[in-house]
Every structure is written in C-alpha cells, then in structure tokens.
Amino acid sequence: MERDTHEQYEYARSRLRQKKYLFYHFVLFLIGSLFMFVANELLKFGEPEEWDIWASTIWFFIIILHFIKVYIMDRFMNKEWERAQIDRLMAKQQNRIRQLESKIDTEKN
C-alpha cells in the first residue's frame, strides 16, 4: 500500500473509531439515565432529592463535549494541521537560529 493511501486509511479508521466510541457513549448515557431514573423515581433510592436529573444533565454535558471533540475539534486539528504547525514552528526556530548566528558573526567582527 502506498504511503498516502495508508495514511488515508489510518485517518479513516481513526475517525470511525472516534465516532463509534461517541455512539457507545451515547447509548451508555441513555441506559444509565434510564437506570438512574428508575432507581430514584420508582425505587425511591436517594429520596427526597432528584439526583437523577442532575446526574443525567452533567452526563449529557459531557456527551456534548465529546461530540464537539469528535465532530468539530478533530475535524480541523488533524494530522495535516499538526504538520502545518510543526513546519511553522520549525521555520520560526530556523529563523531565530539564523538571527543569532548573524548577531554572533557581527559581534566577532
């Protein structure tokens, strides 16, 4: 397999894995929220507070963050973005090294 094809395959596989874990997280959230609702409302566990609503709300917020990471952040901050940032930082470093070398050369003369 060519290098570009292999990188595309690895990227697609990584994205699929991320989306799969997000789906699992969502299903676990639904089952867990139902369990917490049954435990609090029907079995009267933890009365008199309605802790299940707070726990489900916090968990839902975490799922929203997971969704943002998978569908927004990782879409833009992928391997190409990392390479561009590394290239930019390396160019800055090389520029700074050249400046320091020229400063040393002028001080020697």
* Whether residue 62 has pLDDT greater than 80: yes
pLDDT of 92 higher than 80 = yes
Tokens of 3: 């290098």
What is the per-residue pLDDT for 66? 95
pLDDT at 52 over 80: yes
- The pLDDT > 70 percentage for the chain reads 97
Predicted model pTM: 0.67
Where residue 1 falls among pLDDT bands split at 50, 70, 90?
low
